[in-house]
Amino acid sequence: MGSIPTWARVYVVCVVLAAVACLAPLPTLHAPWWIVAVLAALYAGCERIPFPHSPKGAAARVAERGAPRGLGTFLPVLLAGAFLLPPPAAALVALPGALLARVEQRPRWLRRVWRAAQLAVAVWAASRVHWALGGRDAVALPHFPYALVPAGAAVLTFCVVLTALDGGILALAERVPVRGAWRGLFSRSLASVAVHGLAGLMMAVLWRSPYGPVAALLVLLPMYVSCWAFAQYHRERAAHQATIRALVQAVDIKDGYTRGHSERVGQASMMIARELGMDDERVEVLRFAGILHDVGKLGVPTRLLRKDGPLTPEERRIIELHPEYGHEMVRGIGFLGEARSAILHHHERIDGSGYPYGLVGRQIPEFARVVAVADAFDAMTSTRSYRRARPVPVALEELERCAGAQFDPGMVRALVRALNRHGWHPAVTSGVYPPSPEFSTSLEQGGPPSPVSSRTGENPTDKDLSPTRTTSARPLGAEDCGTDRDSTDVDPPSSGVVGRGRS
DSSP state of 459: -
Q: Which residues contact 154 (CB under 8 A, 6 or more apart)?
A: 79, 82, 83, 126, 127, 129, 130, 133, 135, 197
Quick: pLDDT tens for 96-115. Answer: 988 888 777 778 888 899 99
Q: Of 356, 290, 305, 354, whose CA–CA distance to 485 is shortest? A: 305
pLDDT of residue 493: 30
Q: Side chain identity at 76, as an amino acid letter? A: P
Q: Of 128, 94, 88, whose CA–CA distance to 113 is shortest? A: 94
Q: Of 312, 342, 335, whose CA–CA distance to 469 is shortest? A: 312
Quick: pLDDT tens for 6-22. Answer: 888 899 999 999 999 99
CA–CA separation, 483 and 478 (whole Å): 14
* Average pLDDT of the chain to the nearest whole number: 77
Asked if residue 54 has pLDDT above 60, the reply is: no
In whole angstroms, how far apart are CA 287 and each of 5, 264, 283, 327, 426?
34, 10, 6, 16, 14
pLDDT category of residue 480 using cuts at 50, 70 and 90: low
Contact predicate 387/352, CB 8 Å: no
Asked if residue 4 has pLDDT above 50, the reply is: yes
Mark out the alpha helices in 347-462 (DSSP H runs).
366-381, 392-402, 409-422
Asked if residue 128 has pLDDT above 90, the reply is: yes
CA–CA separation, 123 and 330 (whole Å): 48
CA–CA separation, 78 and 91 (whole Å): 8
pLDDT of residue 3: 73
Asked if residue 394 has pLDDT above 80, the reply is: yes
pLDDT of residue 279: 85
Contact predicate 374/290, CB 8 Å: yes
Contacts made by residues 412-417, CB under 8 angstroms, sequence distance 24+: 412/373, 414/272, 414/275, 414/276, 415/268, 415/271, 415/272, 415/275, 415/373, 415/374, 415/377, 417/275
Contact predicate 75/22, CB 8 Å: no
The more confident residue out of 445 and 235 is 235
Asked if residue 450 has pLDDT above 90, the reply is: no
Contact predicate 135/141, CB 8 Å: no
pLDDT of residue 258: 65
Quick: pLDDT tens for 335-384. Answer: 888 899 999 999 999 999 999 999 999 999 999 999 999 999 998 988 76
Strands of 188-293, DSSP E: none
pLDDT of residue 426: 75
Assign residue 448 a region: left if phi > 0, alpha if psi is -120 to 50, beta otherwise? beta
pLDDT of residue 15: 95
pLDDT of residue 170: 87
Quick: pLDDT tens for 168-185. Answer: 988 888 777 777 788 788
Q: Which of 277-286, 325-334, 492-501 has the lowest mean pLDDT?
A: 492-501
190, containing H or E segment: helix 185-208
The more confident residue out of 192 and 127 is 127
Asked if residue 451 has pLDDT above 60, the reply is: no
Asked if residue 289 has pLDDT above 70, the reply is: yes
pLDDT of residue 239: 81
In whole angstroms, how far apart are CA 184 and each of 71, 162, 190, 223, 275?
23, 13, 10, 25, 18
pLDDT of residue 85: 92
